[in-house]
Structure 1
Amino acid sequence: MDVGVVYFFTDQGPDPIEFGQAAEGYGFESLFVPEHTHFPVSRKTDYPIPYGGPELPGFYLRTYDQIVTMSMIAAHTQTIMLGTGICLLAQHDPIAKAKQIATLDHLSGGRVICGVGMGWNVEEAEAHGVVWKQRYSTVRDKLKVMQALWTQEEASYDGQRASLAPSWAWPKPAQPNGPRTYLGGAGPTTMRHAAEWADAWYVVPSAEDPTLSKTVPEFRRVVEESGRDPESVGIAVASAPPDPAALESYRELGIERAVLWVDPADDPGEGMRNLETVSKVLAQIS
């Protein structure tokens, strides 16, 4: 099982380049970067309880652009994989996003993981023109457009929410089949969609099943019911606790990657210390 970290980079926290180099030096296999474009002041949508709600943490309001941040880190590191954790794909033009990610993967030597998700803030999504009740099919079809552009010489896709007329686009990603795609989130609807069309489910463990001992078998059953081989669809854990016992349980369940949560900080030194603290778990699980 690979072990990475996720961090909300802001204009008040540690420098992303320094953080990425330190994460690579500690031995983390991957670094995931979240995304939010803005937060409407209305705040009609409560911050989800599973994420620590209902009060919205201040770091959400100050996040750097996801792709720019990943590009800066990629240019100053050598081996660490870089994940969109996650990209709020419904809010983006898929042709432009495919170009960004293909370019980053090409220039970084194949180090991109493409995590996508629905988001939770209705007002943020609607400001981008997203129809909230159509968000699952929108993300699916936009991702299919991106994958066509990554893998087909003459790319095309005919979908319900997004389509692509036969088109040429280069560069292609360095990874032959394009970046591995994760669908992030929790709950039965996200589970079903991940089972049907993602490379892996990027699941946030619930309070009822923190070790995923019940969730993983259920997901594999849903994958099989969707007509896919359960062994062909991976599972990765989002915002995993830096707890050796939990990580060992994930490993035993066949989890492909655990991405550890590092507490954001509005002080650069504190953010780096938080990373160092989390990194100590690596020696306990290796």
Structure 2
Amino acid sequence: MRISVTIFLTDETVRPPTLARELEERGFHGLYLPEHTHIPVSRDTPAPMGEPLPREYGRSLDPFVALGQAAAVTERLALGTGITLVAQHDPIVLAKQAATLDFLSGGRFTLGIGFGWNVEEAADHGVDWRGRRELGRRRMALMNALWSPKPTAYDAGGTADAGGGAGAGGAAVRTAVRASEAHPKPVHAPRERRGAPPLYGPRTLLGGGAGPTLFAHVAEYADGWLPIGGGGLTDSVPRLRRAWEDAGRDPEALEVVPYAVRPSEGKLAHFAAQGVRETVVQLPPAGETEVLRTLDAYARFL
């Protein structure tokens, strides 16, 4: 099994180039970085990891900039976001960022996406909380059009309420792009879908809680699922596989990548029995000495 890591890199932790070099030298597969543009100090949203919210959430580095540094000092290390809050991005800009990082790294980039937990953060980006999943779905389709080999237009065929958040009045936002020259293109090979254009972007994994809506979205526009912690896979993986195959996707292509895992030999063996080929383990948001000590402890799982 491939072992990757995730960490909140901040202005107070180990630096991206140092960590990337150490990961590659030790034989870890990849580095995934989370995203929070900001954390409003006045918020009503309870943190899923408990209160008070850990310090690193409000200090995290931009993942695309940090992964660009990591790409520049490595040759084999896989690079990923875990996760990009896609509804909070301009999709035309995000498509360019993802394609550029994939191109410059030689196809090493994984776009991990999701929809977040912080209502106030999303509201500051003009995102209506109730519509964020549909908005994210439309923005992924728009990005796929920009990643297509030939200029391809996309129009969602309507509007998505993307403003206000947290109960405030929203504004209708059109999700569309003209047929355009948009280079570079991602390196990943196209993936066929029944009744829809191929997926042209970088490897894409969708995070979120197990359920029919999430699994339908994975089957529609992703390459697999990022389950936080990896609990309950015995029940959830067969359900995801049914949704995947019902959508006409290649049964062998589905990826399930447990994320932010506290590893043990038993846990990894259980994941392997569910067909998991990559696990992302959690590093502490700490300085170089503590992070490298943790990497040495995790090296027994490689």
Secondary structure in structure 2 of the residue aligned to 1:24: helix
Instruction: Answer yes or no: is the 8 Å Cα contact 1:35–1:87 preserved in 2.
Output: yes
Q: What pairs with 1:1-40 in structure 2 (closer than 5 Å)?
A: 1-40=1-40
Q: Counterpart amino acid of 1:181?
A: T
Aligned to 1:65: 62
Aligned to 2:228: 204
Matched, 1:276 2:296: yes
Question: For the aligned residues, what is the CA RMSD?
Answer: 1.7
Secondary structure in structure 1 of the residue aligned to 2:133: helix
Partners of 2:240 and 2:229 lie apart in 1 by 13
Partners of 1:20 and 1:128 lie apart in 2 by 31
Of Structure 1 and Structure 2, the greater helix share is in 1
Per the TM alignment, residue 137 of structure 1 is displaced from its structure 2 partner at its CA by: 1.1
What is the TM-score when the length of structure 1 is the normalising length?
Answer: 0.90
Matched, 1:126 2:123: yes
**Which of 136, 141, 145 is the aligned partner of 1:139?**
136
Secondary structure in structure 2 of the residue aligned to 1:231: coil
Partners of 1:62 and 1:100 lie apart in 2 by 21
Secondary structure in structure 1 of the residue aligned to 2:143: helix
Secondary structure in structure 1 of the residue aligned to 2:66: helix
Matched, 1:53 2:73: no
What per-residue deviation string (whole Å, max 9, x for no partner) do you get for residues 150-205 of structure 1? 22321222225422211111111233433111111213132332233211111114
Q: What pairs with 1:94-105 in structure 2 (closer than 5 Å)?
A: 94-105=91-102
Aligned to 1:150: 147
- Tell me whether 126-135 or 147-156 shows the greater mean CA deviation: 147-156
Partners of 2:100 and 2:130 lie apart in 1 by 32
**Which of 229, 245, 254 is the aligned partner of 1:224?**
245
Secondary structure in structure 1 of the residue aligned to 2:182: coil
Distance 1:104 1:228, change over 3 A: closer
Partners of 1:95 and 1:156 lie apart in 2 by 12
What is the TM-score when the length of structure 2 is the normalising length?
Answer: 0.86
Instruction: Answer yes or no: is the 8 Å Cα contact 1:12–1:268 preserved in 2.
Output: no
Aligned to 1:167: 180
Secondary structure in structure 2 of the residue aligned to 1:5: strand
- Tell me whether 121-130 or 191-200 shows the greater mean CA deviation: 191-200
Aligned to 1:251: 272
Aligned to 1:215: 236
Question: Which ranges in structure 2 are unaligned for 5 or more consecutive residues?
Answer: 161-174, 191-200
Instruction: Answer yes or no: is the 8 Å Cα contact 2:40–2:120 preserved in 1.
Output: yes
What per-residue deviation string (whole Å, max 9, x for no partner) do you get for residues 200-243 of structure 1? 11111465x2xx11121122123334454543432111112221
Partners of 1:106 and 1:53 lie apart in 2 by 38
Secondary structure in structure 2 of the residue aligned to 1:106: helix
What per-residue deviation string (whole Å, max 9, x for no partner) do you get for residues 85-111 of structure 1? 110111111111111111111111111
Aligned to 2:197: none
Percentage identity across aligned positions?
Answer: 42
Instruction: Answer yes or no: is the 8 Å Cα contact 2:229–2:262 preserved in 1.
Output: no
Q: Counterpart amino acid of 1:163?
A: A
Partners of 1:152 and 1:179 lie apart in 2 by 13
Secondary structure in structure 1 of the residue aligned to 2:80: strand
Q: Counterpart amino acid of 1:276?
A: D
Aligned to 1:191: 215
